Structure 1
Amino acid sequence: MLQALRDKASSWVIKILLGLLIIAFAIWGINDVFLGERDPAVATVGDVKIARSQADEALRDELNRLRPVLGTIDREAAFRMGLTNQVLTRLINRTVANIAAQELGIVASDQMVNRSIRSDRRFFDQSGKFSRNLFYQTLSNANMAEGYYVSTLKQSLPSEHLNRAVSGNIPVPKALIGPLTRFRSEQRTARTVLVPPPLGAAREPKGDELEAFYKENISGFMAPEYRDVTFIHLDPRELSKEVRVAEEKIKESYAQRIEEFTLRDRRKLAQVVFRTEAGAAAAAAAIKSGKSLAEAAKEKGKTQKVVKLGWVEQKDLFTVLAKPVFALKKGETSGVLKSPLGWHIVAIEDSEIGRVKPLSEVRKQVRDGLAAGEAQNSIFALANQLEDSLAAGADIKAAAARLNVRAVNVPALDRQGLGRNGKRVAKLPIGGKFLRTAFEHSDGESSTLRETQAGGFYILMVNKVMPPKVRPLKDVRRIAVTAWKAERQAQAASRRAKAIVARLKKGDNFAAIARDEKLEVKTSPAFTRLTHEAQSGVAAALAEKLFSLKVGDAAMAESTQGYVVGVLASVSAGAGKQKAAVAEGTLREIRQGMAADLTAQLLEAFRRRVTIKTYPDLLRDRI
């Protein structure tokens, strides 16, 4: 048989077949021929592919969001509940929005991204201007790499601009605003007393009482689900501490960044801008006579606003103002200066002379920057070596030993990153993704190598899953006794409050009842249905009941400090300014709702123009 095959292999038919196979491998690749596509599309929107890895990430986010409500959901259950289709629909809608934005000419250029970052007030320094150092510091505090942030922002800008274009100045019917404004503006006042739990410690529970309480509230005495996890964390920040940076490189980097370390002359300014030269001249004369800038701005019964400019450099001012202003010293005030905006009088509140920070002052900053760059390059090399070692069959511990990196074992880790002692486990990769990854995998399963927002990598293995279980009463006796006593005291306060309400319904005087009970009567300020209890002093649960009562009627509700009994004192339609503010807020909310509807209609129109195909079964066993 083998000889026959050898004879046939030399024939021209076999050569043609082998040639076709070589062409197939060249076009589609060996992996695709034998392994199939590694990251297939779970949906396509026109020519745009939604990869399975992208949908996996979104689906895990959704399951983690729902886990506190629904508990742990397995793969098949998530599919049956329709969660897979919901997540896929959201991804499709987002893709359609991006396509719509592109077709309408809304594209996020690098310049737009740059402007968006520079106008973000989170990155402004004390002078009210964009600070590159603060930008990097903010991202560092959030453990987010610059490239990740910029990429995410660039993806979101087109749909944001599309929403703004659709929602701009939508007309809203007055007939819709009026009833809602009246409902929201209605004000009430109430007289209330707080009925606190009884003073003094409650008695100790008897054995059968505590046992019964423990069984009735068993869900409150559950130990959380834990994972025994071993992980490797390739952290560029830790690695940078071990990097040695040559002195020559530090000096070279300092020279290249000299502009960054150059501080310009600055002045802290306050100014008044006058519409007329005569007004400015009168104020300047008043200042010469000894009056302050603020006092001079009030001359002749007219008050001009004193504007605090804060710290500025010469380049921040009009050219006609820069030279004379920076010629002044701290505490001095300029004469009348003219610019395109009017006539200025400028006061110098403080000043700083520019200088260049010496290398000795910024050496650590320069060194750390260079070390971080080298560490980041090394991290990628280590990550590649780690993947190669794991692909060769090594487990996490063996791979760590080969690379001389640390494999960390955490014997008990819950979803919040806490150990059995209730304290946070130290030195975990920062961010929720690590914890989410740990609770996505079962006994003996390992994750893939995953990147952190800080630019590092981690991989983990779940050694053991410890499901939630009821802690025995002997382990939680102290907690159970405390909870039992608190409940007994709350019940006593509730009975007392009910007795007060019963007396009020019989017609007894509220002030007299309060004196009998040694309680203080308080009268609330006027509040609406939207007023927070911190402003009104009325517990939210009681306020809700008061809006269904008539003047003089009473109600009670539980609060954080016991129980509150309240009597409705007055009802009013609300003040003019308050109603105007409510009307404005209502108008804004209605417009936002209408804008959402219009955006949904627009996206639906675009959905009909593209072919959408979905393959949700590919997610069924990938949760």
Structure 2
Amino acid sequence: MAKRKSSNIALYIILGLLIVGLMGFGGASFSSRTSRVGMAGDKPITVADYTAALQEQLQSLSAQFGTNISMAQAQQLGLDQAVLGQVVTQRVLDNEAATLGISAPDDRVAEEVRAVPAFQNLSGSFDREAYRDVLARNNLDEEAFEESLRDDMSRTLLQAAVYGGIAPPQTYGTRVADWLLERRTATWATVPADSVSIPAPGEEELRSYYDAHPDRYSWPERRRLAVAWLTPAMISDEVEVDEAALRELYDQRIDQFVLPERRLVERLVFPNEEAATAARARIDEGSTTFEEEVSARGLGLSDVDLGDVGQEQLGAAGEPVFAANTGDVVGPVETSLGPALFRLNAVLGAQETTFEEAMPDLRDELAISRAARVIDQERERLSDLVAGGATIADLAANSAMEEEEILWFPGSTEGIAAYESFRTAAASASEGDYPEIRELEDGGLFALDLVEVLEPELRPFDEMAAQVATDWTQAQRADALAQIAGEKAGQILAGASFAEAGLAAETTAGLTRRDFLAEAPEGFVDTLFAMPEGGVEPLASDSGVVILRLDRIERPEGSGEAYEAEVASVTERMQASLAQDVSTIFNNTVQMRTEVTIDQAAIASLNSSVQ
């Protein structure tokens, strides 16, 4: 039954992607599924294959960034090539399945088609007229759709045969769970940095320190560059943006500007209904807390935090969670991951940004986008100028590009050096190279000419005196603190208490390798788990030196609900990782022996047709 449900879900996704994919592209010449953009063996790579995958990734990326990602931006990120690679891999596997004689039978394909709600009448029965109508309205035909579905089902069978039975050794889960669930109890105290007084240094001491550390006070190799550059932001004020376009963009982003009520929620999933109900009962009677139940399952609060979510995102839990008060625990509620308890941490009221309020930002965004297109239209003319021998000064004189001379070195990120593409070009430039028009990440253009290379050079002492004084003082304080900490750590290791060593200590119990203490220095937990029981270690921090003693090592009992859940989770993650590795090797091997041809002109035309 579960297998059938999963298959139906996959079918709905396939249908949705095909429909959404074609809706996002203009041009009737690309609406038919028989239109090809390439071949993988004997399998055509169709327009629908590419456009559906591209639209899915564009929508996903837009949701991730919280703003609509244009096709130009997507191409700068390499999204079109990634999608093409994904589609090619799928069709290569389809071809391999066909070569091996793996094919979903007609009755299974028909069964899946009849199960799609969009193809059913009001009584829930398959309606052939509805089936034809839905496909026709989306420029699809029955044969092509069913063949696409058959390919997807056959590919799934092939993939299941390749890595479906892969599993890590039985002992893997227990070994890793034992390691993860080990706990440490430690006592620690800080020797504060301000407990050491460092006298002011004399000039002789500073000059001696300066001479001993020339690398700290030297310029790296620097490059003097003549640069001409133009970015959308430089000309955005000159671009006209009418209110109608702004309103259209506002309407497209209405979900961004009109936000319904949301909730800050945590979700703790259990392996079964009985465990979830028992945990809820313990919380209600006060014998435990939600935090303790989270910890008992080997998790931290960050692992169960859902952030701010809308009611629909919570599914069946949406209504009871939104009816709860702050601090309430709701559930158990059945979720896609299993029965779960939810805790409401805060209520976020509905928010609305009016068009007038959003207009300045929308105007800037639209102006930048249009300015990028204006610059792109200038690219060919500027390239022709450079090909004709134009210098950096000539480019600035004959276009809107701005000319400047900069002294660039690795690590500088001011001005045009904020762009990675510029830094890469600056680092690789050679004297005598001809300028060329290059692209910046925001759609801008630049050209550069290497004027001279300045070798590494020690900066004058007078210029660096303040920094030398700071560095010398820090070094002296670190040495003094290390000496004090070493002495006190020795006393404690010899049996003295922290109080006898003159330290105000605190004890932290039950730490796991996953835990993080905000008040502890970096590396605290790693150091703790590398120590032997009873060991004492000094650990440098920004505020001084921490003296750390490992009091007790607690190993998991090897049984219990939380332990078994950890073993299962570790095993599942490793199984998924192994399956992914085998899948990648198999896919690459099959692709190497399959002839693939791509019509780049058709791909370019499709990319330009994105609405």
Tell me the TM-score range normalised by the shorter chain: 0.5 to 0.7
The 8 Å contact of residues 239 and 367 in structure 2, kept in 1 or not, is answered as: yes
Give the counterpart of 2:168 among 159, 167, 172.
172
Give the counterpart of 2:398 among 391, 398, 402.
402
- Distance 1:105-1:520 versus aligned 2 partners, 3 A rule: farther
Query: Does 2:497 align with 1:510?
Result: yes
- Distance 1:554-1:238 versus aligned 2 partners, 3 A rule: closer
- Distance 1:187-1:608 versus aligned 2 partners, 3 A rule: same
TM-score, L = length of structure 2: 0.55
Give the counterpart of 2:536 among 548, 554, 569.
554
Aligned equivalents of 1:502 and 1:267: distance in 2? 60
The 8 Å contact of residues 41 and 594 in structure 2, kept in 1 or not, is answered as: no
Aligned equivalents of 2:526 and 2:253: distance in 1? 58
Aligned equivalents of 2:239 and 2:178: distance in 1? 67
**Which residue number in structure 1 is paired with residue 431 of structure 2?**
443
Cα-to-partner distance string for 1:393-417 (whole Å, 9 max, x where unaligned): 221112321336432222x223333
**Which residue number in structure 1 is paired with residue 453 of structure 2?**
465
**Which residue number in structure 1 is paired with residue 80 of structure 2?**
151
- Distance 1:605-1:569 versus aligned 2 partners, 3 A rule: same
**Identity across aligned pairs (percent)?**
19
Aligned equivalents of 1:353 and 1:201: distance in 2? 56
Q: CA deviation at 1:270?
A: 10
Query: Does 2:386 align with 1:390?
Result: yes
- Distance 1:232-1:585 versus aligned 2 partners, 3 A rule: farther
- Distance 1:581-1:492 versus aligned 2 partners, 3 A rule: farther
Aligned equivalents of 1:354 and 1:543: distance in 2? 46
Q: CA deviation at 1:117?
A: 3.2
**Which residue number in structure 2 is paired with residue 598 of structure 1?**
582
Give the counterpart of 1:135 among 68, 71, 76.
68
Aligned equivalents of 2:432 and 2:487: distance in 1? 60
**Which residue number in structure 2 is paired with residue 455 of structure 1?**
443
Aligned equivalents of 2:209 and 2:352: distance in 1? 72
Aligned equivalents of 1:366 and 1:547: distance in 2? 53
Aligned equivalents of 2:205 and 2:196: distance in 1? 20
**Superposed, which structure 2 residues align to 1:334-373 within 5 Å?**
none
The 8 Å contact of residues 123 and 135 in structure 1, kept in 2 or not, is answered as: no
Q: CA deviation at 1:269?
A: 7.6
The 8 Å contact of residues 168 and 574 in structure 2, kept in 1 or not, is answered as: yes
**Superposed, which structure 2 residues align to 1:265-414 within 5 Å?**
375-403=371-399, 405-410=401-406, 412-414=407-409
**Which residue number in structure 2 is paired with residue 17 of structure 1?**
none
**Which residue number in structure 2 is paired with residue 79 of structure 1?**
none
**Superposed, which structure 2 residues align to 1:16-415 within 5 Å?**
109-120=50-61, 122-123=63-64, 134-136=67-69, 145-149=73-77, 150-155=79-84, 157-158=86-87, 170-199=166-195, 201-244=197-240, 250=242, 260=252, 375-403=371-399, 405-410=401-406, 412-415=407-410
Q: CA deviation at 1:373?
A: 6.8
- Distance 1:531-1:366 versus aligned 2 partners, 3 A rule: closer
Aligned equivalents of 2:351 and 2:521: distance in 1? 52
- What amino acid is the match of 2:50? S
**Which residue number in structure 1 is paired with residue 527 of structure 2?**
544
**Superposed, which structure 2 residues align to 1:570-581 within 5 Å?**
570-574=552-556, 576=560, 579-580=563-564
Aligned equivalents of 2:550 and 2:310: distance in 1? 50
**Which residue number in structure 2 is paired with residue 416 of structure 1?**
411
Query: Does 2:586 align with 1:586?
Result: no
**Which residue number in structure 1 is paired with residue 421 of structure 2?**
433
- Distance 1:111-1:555 versus aligned 2 partners, 3 A rule: same
Q: CA deviation at 1:177?
A: 1.7
**Superposed, which structure 2 residues align to 1:467-486 within 5 Å?**
467-486=455-474
Cα-to-partner distance string for 1:292-324 (whole Å, 9 max, x where unaligned): xxxxxx9xxxxxxxxx99599xxxx9xxxxxxx
Aligned equivalents of 1:399 and 1:354: distance in 2? 43
> Rg bigger for which structure?
1
Query: Does 2:560 align with 1:564?
Result: no
- What amino acid is the match of 2:195? L
Q: CA deviation at 1:457?
A: 1.8
Q: CA deviation at 1:451?
A: 2.1
Q: CA deviation at 1:216?
A: 3.6
The 8 Å contact of residues 429 and 452 in structure 1, kept in 2 or not, is answered as: no
- What amino acid is the match of 1:234? L
Give the 3-state SS of the residue equivalent to 1:513 in structure 2. Answer: coil
Bigger drift between 443-452 and 253-262 goes to 253-262
- Distance 1:522-1:227 versus aligned 2 partners, 3 A rule: same
- What amino acid is the match of 1:594? L
Q: CA deviation at 1:441?
A: 0.4
- Distance 1:254-1:269 versus aligned 2 partners, 3 A rule: closer
Gaps of 5+ in 1: 1-97, 126-133, 272-297, 299-307, 318-348, 419-424, 613-623
